Amino acid sequence: MEVKVTSSTILTSPISHPSDIPLTIFDRFATNIHIAVLYAFTPPTSNNADIISGLSNTLVHFPTLTGKLTTNSYARPSLTVGGPHGGALLVEATVSSKLEDHLPLPPSPDFRLLHPEVNDAKHLLQVQLNRFQCGGLVIGVTNHHRVADGQSMSTFFVAWGKMVRGVPVDSLPVYDQSWLKPRDPPLVQFDHWGTDFIPLSPQPNEFCVTPVYADPSEITNMLLHFSAEFIIKLKAQTNASSTVKYTTFQTLLGHLWRMVTIARQLDDEECTMVRVSVNGRPRLQPPVPMEFFGNLVLNAYPKAKARALIEGGAAMAAGIVREAVRDVGEDYFRSFIDLGEVYGNRDLVPCYDVDGNVISPKLEVDSWLGFQFDEVDFGGGGGLCAFLPINWVPLEGLLIFIPALSRNGGVDVFVSLLEKHAVRFREISHSLD
């Protein structure tokens, strides 16, 4: 793929006077990296000038995306918004090939050329508009996770598309953090040490993790499609032996958890665990608006021994996922907020930060099924034809669920495994036996 950058500019912050915003405990729990996504649109599309103008107008409502991560006078991580620093990077580029030659955008290291470099990125939001020979458009966007989670970014993308099309934006971001106010006195009623954050002063052998690394060439990424018909059959099989009606996510995750465990050939008694992202907005009371912009996500941790998981069937696996996610309720989120009040000035390190790039026997799972990424429309008459939640990642054990864009619906799942395990996984991923 030949990509030629034709221009690069900085869209300045819409706020003239700088101000410091302390990062919340949820921001500090978010992974400290840029997340890269790709949107592909068939021609005709809106021109670059209209898309850039729409972006500038949208950032007026999303100023934190133009900020800069800093440390305040109390040595606490914060976000500086406004002033001469920060801004958003906007790159324009052309691609010599036709868009259809690259569809449906399977994960590939080559696609790194379609968005600005994420290593040592100077801006929290980076956008690259890639014009293909046929007139097709791929918009590559990277944003820093400590400023916004997936729910927040879906709100941003939908608003940006409406701004370009001249449609009123009816879901503006909400920045009110009164929902995140700690209790008085704070009550840390759950043990978040060793689960969410590394213990501040671990006892000998209390928290021992040996990172496992593999050469990136040994890790493969794939995007698997599970049709609506397949999911109906899977749910019927799962629900047949249970009085509980499992959701699509619970059912499909339970199935894939078992298939990955088989492919990895784990020992019978080895404990396998899934880190599942849980959106706190609907769990806090009163519920936080979905338009809340920032981070408000914690993890659930379903666990099982390998043999029991495999032999227990799809219903058992879905049930373990369901119960673990239900346990991360309002009390857990309130306890986490109070943890931030008590230990907010300490150096807090999320447990996943000590992992290598091979997390087996664990899995890291994110569901984007409830987001609006598939509703993004930048106008012009063409349509969204492909969406890739991440172009390529040298991390074994990552799964991302996204709504499929195909006519028959269903779910696409991004999966990253060691190639030696991926061979077997591909063979059994759609097995209902």
Active site residues: 145, 377
Token pair 């790194």 is at which residue? 112
The whole-angstrom separation of Cα 5 and Cα 96 is 12
Q: What is the layout of strands, in order, in the sheet containing 125-132?
A: 3-11, 88-95, 125-132, 137-144, 34-41, 384-388
Determine how β-strand 3-11 pairs with β-strand 137-144: unpaired
Residues of 61-93 as b/e, b for ≥16 C-beta within 10 angstroms? bbbbbbbbbbeeeeeebbbbbbbebbbbbbbbb
The whole-angstrom separation of Cα 284 and Cα 297 is 11
CB 150 within 8 A of CB 366: yes
Peptide bond into 361 cis (omega under 30): yes
| Structural tokens at position 177 | 């953090």
The whole-angstrom separation of Cα 281 and Cα 295 is 10
**H helices of 199-247, where?**
228-240
User: Which stretches does DSSP call E strand in 238-333?
Assistant: 271-279, 297-300, 303-305
The whole-angstrom separation of Cα 395 and Cα 421 is 14
Cβ-defined contacts of 224-228 (< 8 Å, 24+): 224/412, 224/413, 224/415, 224/429, 225/404, 225/406, 225/410, 225/411, 225/412, 226/252, 226/404, 226/410, 226/411, 226/412, 226/413, 226/430, 227/404, 227/406, 227/408, 227/409, 227/410, 228/408, 228/409, 228/410
How far is C-alpha 90 from the chain's CA centre? 22
